[in-house]
Chain A
């Protein structure tokens, strides 16, 4: 950790300086702590406390990953479904047996395509709006924005997915069917994306506001002093400096869209058919997963293959995240840490 030498060095000065500084600053409570707990122990206390937390978190996270992987992989290694059939098979119909292999037909391509389409489209809708709103809040009207707009938009997070689903079913699906000149029943990727973009908007907005706020004020002052307009300052300095953090907020919104099940399931139509249009019923990994879990017996192929979908979902969002981190690192300004 390279910290011990540093610690030893500071120890010389610390005794006199720190105690007097802290005694001046606060009511002396902290100084008392100091005399009771030696510095080194205090540092260990911190490491142990937070270390336990991270270990617990990691244990939970890995237990979950292990579980999903174990069930998900047994489709291939126990039940013998071919990996390529699963990944690229265009037909999903677990209740029908394929005469060629003697195994159920479990091609996940329609859902993979559906999930990607819904996630990308909803991000394309929500991210510009959310980041635009965040810029407005941080750079243009911080008073109104931070006091009213941000808290208001965070209300949207607390609405249960079912309620979003119902709103989607009664308003958006009807709107798409009756008002848009696209035909069809209104169920499909487009309706799903609209509902999802409402759901991820608050996540991206709030986190983007925090991202922009953390850009040092000196950057802005520097840009303005050089004579740039507000927009130039925003677009060429603030946005670039905040890019990695903005990316994170978009990712978190995106992953939420990726994993959302109940609301999407109500408006997308759940037809496990390779999507050819945004306005035809389609399905996502999560919608199929949610519908099938309760109807299958744990440990059976029909159940395992649903866990494979979950595994796939995890792997795909992992890829998403890695790619976007990469973009973020390339595009962002070097921040001195």
Chain B
């Protein structure tokens, strides 16, 4: 793997360099400086002008302006990983590319595991993940990667809308997922078998749910499904079904449950009264390229935190009243 790392890294840098140089020359003709990040003009994305002829191969990126606010980035950014974070990263990347038309950003899904292993191998610029790298047995220091918590995702149990139960205690939730309670009538509902639909073993959603909703217990063997969209469909169509989803996938076709009387809502996560939530992470190399650093910084600006993130159903980091570390220790801010 060592050899693989070094080669892929080098090649990747070379490709990025060539692309950067190409783009740099391409924009030489009409270089219109973009507005600073704070304003959000409703401008159309500008098409690149066609480059003239074949460009000579250039490795170094020149003319990098170092002023912080109106800095113009160029080159490529590749983000790989968590499919839950993908829509957000994609939406943000579109905004980012509008501001920095010389940047070509690609957002890939593939799962949190793929994200962390790819960034650890140097195969991408940003590794998206629903979980801490430590939870996947990857030591960030050893792998020389840096964690950026960009937002929070809340998760909650959901049931088929025909289920009469609205509120469960944490103990009841545990009993359901561990197979001790198998009929809704034991929880005050109709005489209807409980169909547990779990998430794929190893997925970030399942890890979060088992840690914070089931107190670290492992759920029983049952139906599993990986994709949030499919889970929502299955729960909506299967009588007596229960599963869990990120808040962003809640629709009117499924019914979220309260746990211990607490509603699965953004405000309740901010003060940690709703416990089932996790950070969304963007891992970068310890010394990322300027454009990558620029994008991660952009993720934390108010424009993303206050506009795109809430619109997608995530919770901005800036609004949190608490902080939680890898071990689950909560600290008030």
Direct contact of A and B (CB under 8 A): yes
A→B interface (CB under 8 Å): 91-96, 169-170, 173-174, 177, 185-187, 265-266, 269-273, 281, 283, 290-300, 302-303
Q: Which residues of B contact A272 (CB under 8 A)?
A: 221, 224
- Residue contact A299 to B113, C-beta cutoff 8 Å: no
Q: How far is the CA of A292 from the CA of B203 in the complex (A)?
A: 8
Most buried by B among A95, A185, A290: A185
Q: Which residues of A contact B121 (CB under 8 A)?
A: 298
- Residue contact B200 to A297, C-beta cutoff 8 Å: no
7 new A-B contacts at CB < 8 Å, known A185-B195, A295-B201: A169-B237, A187-B238, A266-B225, A270-B225, A295-B112, A298-B113, A303-B113
- Residue contact A94 to B201, C-beta cutoff 8 Å: yes
Q: How far is the CA of A96 from the CA of B234 in the complex (A)?
A: 26
- Residue contact B201 to A93, C-beta cutoff 8 Å: yes
Q: Verify if B116 is at the interface (C-beta below 8 Å from A).
A: yes
- Residue contact A187 to B111, C-beta cutoff 8 Å: no
- Residue contact B203 to A295, C-beta cutoff 8 Å: yes
Picked from B111, B195, B221, B233, the residue with its CB within 8 Å of the CB of A295 is B111
* 27 A-B contacts (beta carbon < 8 Å): A93-B201, A94-B202, A95-B201, A95-B202, A169-B233, A170-B237, A173-B237, A185-B195, A187-B234, A266-B230, A269-B223, A271-B223, A271-B224, A272-B221, A273-B222, A281-B222, A291-B200, A291-B224, A291-B225, A291-B226, A295-B112, A295-B113, A295-B202, A295-B203, A296-B136, A297-B138, A299-B1
Which of chain B's residues has its CB closest to A269's CB? B223
Q: Verify if B172 is at the interface (C-beta below 8 Å from A).
A: no
Q: Verify if B204 is at the interface (C-beta below 8 Å from A).
A: yes
Q: Verify if B327 is at the interface (C-beta below 8 Å from A).
A: no
Q: How far is the CA of A297 from the CA of B283 in the complex (A)?
A: 14
- Residue contact B201 to A185, C-beta cutoff 8 Å: no
Q: How far is the CA of A269 from the CA of B109 in the complex (A)?
A: 23
Q: Which residues of A contact B138 (CB under 8 A)?
A: 297
Q: How far is the CA of A318 from the CA of B315 in the complex (A)?
A: 50
Q: Verify if B289 is at the interface (C-beta below 8 Å from A).
A: no
Q: Which 7 A-B pairs have the closest CB atoms?
A: A294-B111, A295-B202, A291-B200, A270-B224, A291-B226, A269-B223, A296-B113
Picked from A185, A271, A292, A296, the residue with its CB within 8 Å of the CB of B221 is A271
Q: Which residues of B contact A292 (CB under 8 A)?
A: 200-202
Q: Which residues of A contact B110 (CB under 8 A)?
A: 294
Given A266-B230, A299-B1, A300-B137, do A93 and B221 touch, yes or no (CB 8 Å)? yes
* Nearest-Cβ distance from residue B8 to partner chain A, whole angstroms: 13
Q: How far is the CA of A177 from the CA of B240 in the complex (A)?
A: 12
Q: How far is the CA of A303 from the CA of B112 in the complex (A)?
A: 13
Q: Which residues of B contact A283 (CB under 8 A)?
A: 224
Q: Verify if B83 is at the interface (C-beta below 8 Å from A).
A: yes
Q: How far is the CA of A272 from the CA of B138 in the complex (A)?
A: 27
Picked from B83, B109, B113, B241, the residue with its CB within 8 Å of the CB of A297 is B113
- Residue contact A273 to B237, C-beta cutoff 8 Å: no
Which of chain A's residues has its CB closest to B109's CB? A294
Q: Verify if B228 is at the interface (C-beta below 8 Å from A).
A: no
Contact with A along B199-225 (1 / 0, CB 8 A): 011111000000000000010011111
Given A95-B202, A299-B1, do A293 and B218 touch, yes or no (CB 8 Å)? no
Q: Which residues of A contact B137 (CB under 8 A)?
A: 297, 300
- Residue contact A294 to B224, C-beta cutoff 8 Å: no
Q: Which residues of A contact B1 (CB under 8 A)?
A: 299
Which of chain B's residues has its CB closest to A296's CB? B113
- Residue contact A187 to B223, C-beta cutoff 8 Å: yes
Q: Verify if B117 is at the interface (C-beta below 8 Å from A).
A: yes
Contact with A along B113-139 (1 / 0, CB 8 A): 110110011000000000000001110
- Residue contact B218 to A185, C-beta cutoff 8 Å: no
* Nearest-Cβ distance from residue A125 to partner chain B, whole angstroms: 23
- Residue contact B218 to A96, C-beta cutoff 8 Å: yes
Contact with A along B149-171 (1 / 0, CB 8 A): 00000000000000000000000
Q: Which residues of B contact A269 (CB under 8 A)?
A: 223-224
Q: Which residues of B contact A296 (CB under 8 A)?
A: 111, 113, 136, 202
Q: Which residues of B contact A270 (CB under 8 A)?
A: 200, 223-225
Q: How far is the CA of A174 from the CA of B236 in the complex (A)?
A: 12
Q: Which residues of A contact B238 (CB under 8 A)?
A: 177, 185-187
* Nearest-Cβ distance from residue A106 to partner chain B, whole angstroms: 11
- Residue contact B83 to A294, C-beta cutoff 8 Å: yes
Q: How far is the CA of A294 from the CA of B202 in the complex (A)?
A: 9
Given A281-B223, A291-B200, A291-B226, do A174 and B237 touch, yes or no (CB 8 Å)? yes
